[in-house]
Amino acid sequence: MTERPYVEVKDLRRVFDVSKPWLNRVLEGGEKQYLKAVDGVSFNIAKGETFALVGESGSGKSTVARMVVGLLPPTSGEVMIDGISMSSQAASSERQRLRRRIQMIFQDPYASLNPRWSVDRIVAEPIRAFRLIEDEKDINARVGELLSFVGLHPADGKKYPHEFSGGQRQRVAIARALASDAEFIVCDEPTSALDVSVQAQILNLMRDLQDRLGLTYLFISHNLAVVRHMASRIGVMYLGRIVEISEGRELFTHPKHPYTRMLLDAVPDVGMTGRQRIPVSGEIPNPISPPSGCTFNPRCPLANERCIEQAPPLLGGVACHAVHEGRTTTHAAA
C-alpha cells in the first residue's frame, strides 16, 4: 500500500473577473472579461519533500501558492493537506488545527513584517494566536530559541525590521513561520529580492531546517539555479497550466517540453560547454485571450496544426503533442 501524499492538489482552477464596471460596458458596448490565472493544476508533495513550481512571471505560480495555503479560494478543484480538505466547509475544527501547521514565506521580507512591531513581538505572534504557550517567560525563551535557529541572536528580538538587512529580515520571516510549529511551508520567491551571496545563505538555512525539523516545502521561483539547489521534484508552469513535471535531476539533464528547454537555454552556461542554445523568445500571451490549443504554440519551434487546435493532455509528465508524437528531433538537445 503506497503512502498517501502529504499535500494533494487536484485540478485547481482560479478565474478572475477583470471586466470593466457595468455602466462602462453599457456605454462602450463591451462584454465581460475573465482571466484564467490557474487552469487545471494537479500535483502531490510527499512529507519532507521540496516540490518546486517554476515559470516566467504571469504563469500562475503565486496564485497556486496562495490557494494552497488558503489565502485565495479556488474557483474549482481541491487542496488536501494531510488528508484534510482546505476548501471543505465540513470539519472546520480540523481545518483550524491544520492552519497552524501551514505557513508562508513571502518574496519581500520587509513588506511582510509589521514595521511598528519589534522582532520578538513579530515572532511571538503565531505562538500567542494559536495559544501554543501561555506563560510570557516561556514565550520569550521560545522566541530566543527560534531566532538562534535562523542564525540571529536572541537580543535581536528588541530591534525593529528597518534595523536589519534584507537577508536578516528574511531570517526573521522564517523564524515567524516556524513559531507555530509549522510542518508545511509555502515559499513564494523567498530569495528573489536578495543579493546572490545572501540567497545562498538563506537557501542553505532552509535546507538545514528541513533536515532538522522534517519540513515539507512548496517552493515557487522563476530562478532555475535556485530550484536546482532546493527541489527534489519540479513542475514547470506556463499560462496557468503545468506543462512538465519531473524529478529535479531528470528535468535538468533530459528536459522534454520545448518551453522547459527554452528556460534551461536561458540559464548562463558557466561551464562553457559550447552546446547550441536557444534563448527564450517572445512573451507570455495575454491571459485574458490566450491562444487556442496549446497556449505555447505561438512561441514553439515544433508547433503544427494540431498544436493550434487541441490542448495537449499531461501524459508521461509532459503536456506536448510534439513529444507525444516523437517530433522533437528538430530541437537541439538540452
The domain limits of the chain are 7-101+183-324
DSSP state of 13: E
The predicted pLDDT at position 117 comes to: 95
Query: Which of residues 31 and 245 earns the better pLDDT score?
Result: 245
CA-to-CA dists, residue 60 to 37, 159, 188, 242, angstroms: 5, 36, 12, 10
**pLDDT at residue 94 in the model:** 76
Average pLDDT, the chain: 88
Angstrom distances, CA of residue 313 to CA of 42, 130, 236, 298, 316: 12, 43, 14, 18, 10
CA dist., res. 114 & res. 190, Å (int): 17
Is the pLDDT confidence value at 261 over 50? Answer: yes
Q: Which H helix or E strand runs over 11?
A: strand 7-17
Helix-helix angle 166-178:119-129, to 10 degrees: 20
User: How far lies 329's CA from each of 280, 282, 325, in Å?
Assistant: 19, 22, 11
Q: Does domain 7-101+183-324 have CATH number 3.40.50.300?
A: yes
Mention every residue, 6+ apart, whose C-beta is less than 8 A from residue 168.
152, 156
Return the DSSP state at 156.
G
pTM: 0.89
Where is average pLDDT lowest: 2-6, 19-23, 43-47? 2-6
What pLDDT was estimated at residue 170? 94
Query: Virtual CA dihedral for 262, 264, 270, 276, nearest 10 degrees?
Result: -40
Least confident among 51-65, 86-100, 200-214, 234-248: 86-100
Comparing 24-33, 44-53, 83-92, 147-156, the range with the smallest average pLDDT is 83-92
